[in-house]
Every structure is written in C-alpha cells, then in structure tokens.
Amino acid sequence: MESIDELRLAFVAGNIDVTSHALHRIVVRNISKQEIMEAGESAIEIEDYPTDKYYPSCLLLGFTDNARPLHLHVSRMDSDGVRLITIYEPNERDWTNGFTKRR
C-alpha cells in the first residue's frame, strides 16, 4: 500500500494512470491536468476502501492553486504511480466539514 505521501509524490511527478471513466469525467467536468496535479499534491485521505473491488482504494480531497476543491478516487497500487478512478468537484449539498464528511 502506498502512503498519502507516496500518492502525493505520484501526482507531483505526473505519474497518473487515468481510467477511461476518469478521463470522461475530466472532460465533462472541465478539469485540467494541472488542476489534477495541484489537488493531488495537497491531498488528504478522507475515506479508505481497503476491500474495494479490484484494488484497495481511497477518496482524497485536494485543492487547486485557485482553491477549487476536488475529490480524487484513486487505487492504491504497489507502484510509483496512482490510478485515478474518478474525479469531481464536491458540492456543499452532499458534503460538510470542508468537503470531508458525507451528509
């Protein structure tokens, strides 16, 4: 398992494996690669899914340099990279406590 520091380093290095689902979401939600890297660099883990379907995964919260919050659902694989499963901008209707707790 990768630690949060290792996940952050993968984002900074741009070592991101983007699933086709995540790629579609990136386009639809107008999220740039730079924003993904920025959010990943500052990310904190807010939910852990150790028994996820294919690989252990987690939900991260990070902010871009322009303070845009992004949730990044990533696989925590034993490698130098991170697999981005999906990404979205959380909304206050569904999240509280600075986008860290589900309502």
Q: What pLDDT sits at residue 78? A: 66
pTM of the model: 0.94
98, part of any domain: no
What mean pLDDT is reported for the chain?
Answer: 93
Mean pLDDT computed over 4-18: 93
**What's the domain count of the chain?**
1
The answer to whether residue 80 scores a pLDDT higher than 90 is no
Cβ-contact 38, 64 below 8 angstroms: yes
Structural domain that includes position 20: 4-93
55, part of any domain: yes
